[in-house]
Amino acid sequence: MPRRPPKGQSPDRRNRNHARDTRLKPILRGGGGLSSEPDDQALDRIIGATDAQPRLGRAALWSDLQGAAGEHHIRSEFGSPKIAKERIERLKEIRRRAYQLALLLKADDDDWGLIRLLWPPEDASPLARTQFLIELIDRLKMTQESPRDLVQQTEKRFGVKGSPFEWLVGGRLKELFKKHFGIDATFHRNVDGIPAGAFVGFVEQVLVEFNIMNGGKPYRPESIVKALTDARAGRHRRKGKGQV
């Protein structure tokens, strides 16, 4: 069964966020999960929650889980036109201020070069770094698109409606559970009526390891089962205002 912190205690959020960001960074950079070494302790907990062994190896399982968590992150980030608009406008403002900074740095270089003189010699010049940041933002097509179109493209890319959580549990993790353990995503209820089983334990631990929370709290087994059954039945939770 998944390890849980003692009652009344919870892991330090800063450490959990750092671990989550470290696990997602290769995906969000576009490098793919295979570029990152598996987290052996996290894998031990995930595999232990299923009471089975991965058929394709630990590295392949970790790579797929990183990919799933990264895709969930993207879907969550662009879950509504309002959120997408705020982030696009912030990118544009960063680009505007970086351009102003580049002009000032170039003026300093042409005058007396004080900033460049004080800058660590082993590092790229501040002007070069600022120009790179401008070029990086200019490469992002999202700054040229409407927020609503961006949300629709994200939905189309992942081929599923409903919430990011429903897509993750009822879609991707269900597929990965079958792929890596050869077991169908099913569940039963224990003597207390709480959903249990290998798939529920697997999902619970994956959510813990990648710090995928519900308003800062762990998802309950009932939420996992509902996402699974709703996805099977084609029922999708309607998103409320600002909900992702």
Q: How many residues does the chain have?
A: 244
Q: Is the pLDDT of residue 10 over 80?
A: no
Yes or no: say if 16 and 5 are a contact pair by the CB < 8 Å rule.
Answer: no
Q: How confident is the model at residue 28 (pLDDT cuts 50, 70, 90)?
A: very low
Lowest mean pLDDT among 100-114, 154-168, 209-223: 154-168
23: its two tokens: 């696990």
**C-alpha 178: how far from its chain's center?**
22
Give the tens place of pLDDT for each residue, 50-95: 989 999 999 999 989 988 888 788 777 666 677 778 888 888 899 9
**C-alpha 86: how far from its chain's center?**
19
How far is it, in rounded angstroms, from Cα 201 to Cα 50? Answer: 6
Give the tens place of pLDDT for each residue, 179-192: 999 999 999 999 99
Q: How confident is the model at residue 231 (pLDDT cuts 50, 70, 90)?
A: confident
Identify the pLDDT of residue 96: 95
